[in-house]
A and B are shown apart, each in its own frame.
Chain A
Amino acid sequence: MNANPVNTKTVNNHAAQQPQTPSSHMIAVLTGIAMLSGFLVVLTAQVTEPMIAENQRVAIEAAIQQVIPGAVDNKKYRLSDGQLLLVQKGSKDPLIYAGYNANGELLGIAAEAGAQGYAGMVNLLYGYDPDCQCIRGFKVLKMAETPGLGDKIISDSNFQANFPVDATVDSDSGKLANAITTVKNGSKKNSWEIDAISGATVTSRAVGKALNQSAQAILPDLLPFIERIKYKEAEQ
């Protein structure tokens, strides 16, 4: 036991204290550590919050510009009980983005959609063009699909050539005239069908399903309001 004295003391302390460390001591240490850790986490959250919000805003802005080509400005709306409401700045879950060009004219609508893919949710933003009543394209916001297979939905030019996809609303039934469906590779016949990528069928189906679900839910309710949001300045 030629250990250095400091160390020997600690070891002896441990040995002697082990049966008798009072619970109050343990609770005090754990409480102290928990408070310190809470303080550090809150501090970091406070400091980084505006940066994270800014990053998310930039990301969504870039995505909107991609699915509504030419859009330089946008407004956020949400549908609630058949009413279209302007979302105030800073409000949570904006559902519908109206993209405007430099003259303040409506170019298209962007909305978020999501469906279960091969590895977790495939979340995307799609652009709807009210003039042709079709979906112009989509941008993946978040997914974890297999690289080289599932992630071809972004890069595969044949898959991107599926768009525009027809999304005409049948005003009688209040649904899409033709549900958007994903079909086997090479068998696309109608403009509302999406030709799957061979080898990435599950992911292709997720895209079709996400678009269909979201379009069915949003577009029939949204269409009566299109005239109201046609120009950026018209809506209060």
Chain B
Amino acid sequence: MSRPRDNTITMETFTEGLWKENPVFVMLLGMCPVLAVTNSAINALAMGLATMFVLLASSIMVSMFSRYIPKQVRIATYIVIIATFVTIVDYVIQAISLDLYNALGAFIQLIVANCMILGRAEAYASKYKPLKAIVNGLGMGLGFTLALLSLGVVREILGAGSLFGISLFGDQFQPWVVMVLPAGGFLVLGTWLLLFDWIKQRQIVLETGGKETHAR
């Protein structure tokens, strides 16, 4: 049952969160913030960074203490650890900018319920040494941030005609209001998923010389 657990850190440890196991585009985890707060690029970036901080900090703690945590209470312990760092992020964002805090609203507190973070704590951080957990958490956090950003950028450009609050097209541009509404989140996410799958299919086709085009 036990796979050998290799604590050596490779490039793969870092990059799997960016591409192969991207939490949003591949594992489809944490969809609530992905759809809810990506209506502008700055919100997406702030949410991504906040999630990344919580993921990193909780990974370190879980990885350090997992040896002492009895199996029966591990989920409760992980949630307490995650909630601690979410509360810290909550205070820090309020201290940095109230506007940002108001824009992100309840979704900061809801990072606690982001299944990606608990999933990483349970499936990865508790099984590896802190350093490896940090590197992997960094990759996962970056992958999550980039995914949020790729939604936020598209939605802000189409929905408000601006990027990071800077107007791009001038006054003639009629914003597609639907893009900043929840429906726009689903549309853009769906399009990105299509694109990702298409790229992956193409890779398979190129590797197999086109023989397995209809395999999937």
Query: Interface residues, chain A, CB within 8 Å of chain B?
Result: 1-4, 7-8, 10-11, 14, 17-18, 21, 25-26, 29-30, 33-34, 36-37, 40-41, 44-45, 48, 51-52, 55-56, 59, 142, 144, 146-149
Contact = CB atoms under 8 A, between A and B. Distances in A.
B84 A41 contact: yes
Interface stretch (B17-25, B45-53, B70-78): B70-78
A29 B77 contact: yes
B2 A147 contact: no
A44 B4 contact: no
B80 A37 contact: yes
Contacts of A45: 91
Nearest to A142: B102
A34 B159 CA distance: 44
A52 B71 contact: no
A11 B127 CA distance: 11
Interface stretch (B93-101, B117-125, B206-214): B93-101
Contacts of A26: 70, 72-73
Interface of B: 1-6, 39, 65, 67-73, 76-77, 80-81, 83-85, 87-88, 91-92, 94-95, 97-98, 102, 105, 159-160, 175, 177, 180-181
Contacts of A44: 87-88, 91-92
B4 A7 contact: yes
Contact of B91 (A21, A33, A48, A144): A48
Given A29-B70, A44-B87, A147-B159, 9 more contacts: A3-B4, A7-B2, A26-B72, A29-B69, A33-B80, A52-B91, A142-B102, A147-B180, A148-B180
Nearest to B68: A29
B144 to A, nearest CB: 23
9 contacts: A3-B3, A11-B2, A14-B71, A29-B73, A33-B80, A37-B81, A40-B85, A44-B88, A51-B95
B95 A52 contact: yes
Contacts of A14: 71
A40 B54 CA distance: 13
Given A1-B2, A40-B88, A30 B177 contact: no
B122 to A, nearest CB: 14
Shortest beta-carbon contacts, A-B, top 6: A148-B177, A37-B84, A51-B95, A48-B95, A48-B91, A44-B88
B99 to A, nearest CB: 8
B39 A147 contact: yes
B108 to A, nearest CB: 13
Nearest to B105: A144
Nearest to A34: B80
Contacts of A40: 84-85, 88
Contact of B5 (A3, A59, A146, A149): A3
Contact of B73 (A30, A55, A59): A30
A40 B85 CA distance: 8
Nearest to B69: A29
Contacts of A51: 94-95
Contacts of A3: 2-5
A36 to B, nearest CB: 8
A25 B83 CA distance: 22
